[in-house]
Homo-oligomer: A and B are copies of this chain.
Amino acid sequence: MEAFRDAILQMIKASKEELAVFLDLCHLKTFSKNEIALQPGTIPQEVLFIKSGLIRVIITDRDGNEHTIHFAMENQFITDYSSFILQQPALYSMQALETTEVVVLPRKAIEWGYKNLHEGEKMGRLVAEFYFIYQDNRIKNIYSRSPKERYEAITEVFPNIHQRVPQHMIASYLGITPVHLSRLKKSER
């Protein structure tokens, strides 16, 4: 749980005691490769903190096509956060692309934290702000850069992604077809 504790202490000050109680409300879990970490349609009851591995976030459109929305990697929190906050059925689905070890933060633990950690609400604010900024960046990129430019810049957001994720999933993340991405790479040379 070391990296997880550090991630919290990077955001807020917390005494050993209160932190110990909080950590005690969480537990570890391991997803095997290709395992589904969140089933769409279910109401998310937990946030995951990734210790190792990689989770792909997917949305399925009306025609049944899957679109890759996000890759969650080491030291990131991940869930269908909107659905978690609103306690509504998830639209996203999440799939472990590698064997993935996570810390599970059940909703009860998080609510306990908001109320009982001295800076619990602040931690919630900082997490929400952090992921807001991430989303905002994506929107900036989508509006102001071409798929090709976004491809060239992708390692800024996801280092190692080319070693860890098949190219057609990257294409899906960029919002283009695998065939077209292959073409863009060719034209670049």
Contact = CB atoms under 8 A, between A and B. Distances in A.
A187 interface: no
Copies of this chain, tallied across the complex? 2
Interface in A88-137: 91, 114, 119, 121-122, 124-125, 128-129, 131-133, 135-137
Interface residues of A, number: 33
Contacts of A81: 132-133, 136
B61 A145 contact: yes
Contacts of A69: 139-140, 143
Contact of A67 (B128, B138, B143): B143
Nearest to A86: B133
A153 interface: no
B59 A136 contact: no
Given A59-B140, A59-B144, A145-B61, A82 B132 contact: yes
14 contacts: A59-B144, A69-B139, A69-B140, A81-B133, A82-B136, A82-B137, A85-B129, A85-B132, A121-B122, A128-B132, A131-B132, A135-B135, A135-B139, A138-B139
